[in-house]
Structure 1
Amino acid sequence: MAAAQAGDRRAYERLLADSVALIRAVARRQGVAVDLLDDVVQETLLTVHRVRHTYDPMRSYDAWLAAIAGRRAIDALRSHGRRDRREMFDSEALESYPDSGDASTETERIEQARYLREAIAELPPGQREAVEQLGLKERSLAEAAEHTGRNTGALKVNLHRALKALRNRLYREP
């Protein structure tokens, strides 16, 4: 690493290649799944590249690398854990929305769209305008503010209130 810090490109390439085995070992010890090992290796090598100037040649390179690899392994485990808690498999969802466009599904979708349009039409004018501008026409806050003459704060508040009202209506009524 000292040679790499001094600008020796070949030493740096060799160092990175030789570091992979230690990174993998540290990640496995942390409990990283096999399918995530390559991600941890890549993130660790990127971190090493970014912070290589902090390495002290008077200390152990392996210990320095292991500390970085351990942190990247923990980051991967946390990220993977969050993803697992958010994602779920629902076999009924696949059955509820088949790929084939049969008539009953299309009719149901048309009915849901009509019900949503009616719910939006019943919103107070400011809320309806915020939904139309920001949601349906997909304008940015700045564009919607310019188009409506309202400030961005008012648009955000109206949109928030409108979405809450729509959620209450759509999930409360059949």
Structure 2
Amino acid sequence: MTDSDAGTPPGMRDGVGWSTLMTAAQAGDGVAYRRLLTEITPYLRALARRSLRRPADAEDAVQDVLLTLHSIRRTYDPARPFQPWLVAIARRRIVDRVRIQIRTTGRETAIEPFEETFAAPETNEWGMESDSIALRRAIADLPPGQRQAVELLKLKDMSLKEASAASGASVPALKVAMHRALKALKGVLGPK
């Protein structure tokens, strides 16, 4: 082990330090590079697990560190210790992962399997039926051009071209009618 690797955690065999392995890897030694990656991975996992709760996030952080290391390995200076260089990279990637975790935690909800949405299936059917009746009434109250656009494009699932041929209206006119119809339906059926 070299002086530059003093304090490097266990995981090195044959007295070869990580600095030596990295220097050999920079010179094109694939075996040394593979060995380096194999030896630093448990160390990186330990670093990541200190900051990240979920094992999947820790593993993602380790992969980010290894990818970063691979892409910038030419910037390592063999005259300097390897471990501080590696830890600096790891800390940046782990902080990035923590930021992602913080951003997504507020927006994501764990999905739990639900057998039913309400106590009784009849409740669901009644709610859907009343919504269906309200939707039919709202569509019937639309002006004729908008009602026709909804019927052809949404209820009959026609393309704009097919609806244009069936109604005699131009494609742009159908788009405008559909937009206005959806806006009107949203105003009638939206949250009260």
TM-score normalised over the length of structure 2: 0.57
Query: Which residue does the alignment assign to 1:41?
Result: 62
- Unaligned runs of 5+ residues in structure 1 are none
- Residues 28-50 of structure 1 deviation map (CA, whole Å, 9 limit, x = unaligned): 45x22252322211221122223
SS at match of 1:65: helix
Aligned pairs for 1:154-173 within 5 A: 168-173=187-192
Classify 1:79/1:169 alpha carbon distance in 2 versus 1 (closer, same or farther; 3 Å): farther
**Alignment: residue pair count:** 161
Query: Which residue does the alignment assign to 2:79?
Result: 58
Structure 2 residue 41 is the aligned partner of structure 1 residue 20:
yes
Classify 1:64/1:90 alpha carbon distance in 2 versus 1 (closer, same or farther; 3 Å): closer
- Unaligned runs of 5+ residues in structure 2 are 1-21, 165-170
* CA contact 1:22–1:66 (8 Å) conserved in 2: no
Classify 1:104/1:19 alpha carbon distance in 2 versus 1 (closer, same or farther; 3 Å): same
Q: CA deviation at 1:170?
A: 3.5
| CA distance in structure 2 between the aligned counterparts of 1:166 and 1:22, rounded to whole angstroms | 59
Q: 1 or 2, which has the higher helix percentage?
A: 1
Classify 1:61/1:108 alpha carbon distance in 2 versus 1 (closer, same or farther; 3 Å): same
Classify 1:77/1:122 alpha carbon distance in 2 versus 1 (closer, same or farther; 3 Å): farther
Q: CA deviation at 1:16?
A: 0.8
Aligned pairs for 1:8-157 within 5 A: 8-29=29-50, 31-33=51-53, 35=55, 36-88=57-109, 97-98=117-118, 102-116=121-135, 118-119=137-138, 149-150=171-172
Q: CA RMSD in A?
A: 4.3
- Residues 88-109 of structure 1 deviation map (CA, whole Å, 9 limit, x = unaligned): 4799xx69715x9823212312
| CA distance in structure 1 between the aligned counterparts of 2:67 and 2:111, rounded to whole angstroms | 37
TM-score normalised over the length of structure 1: 0.62
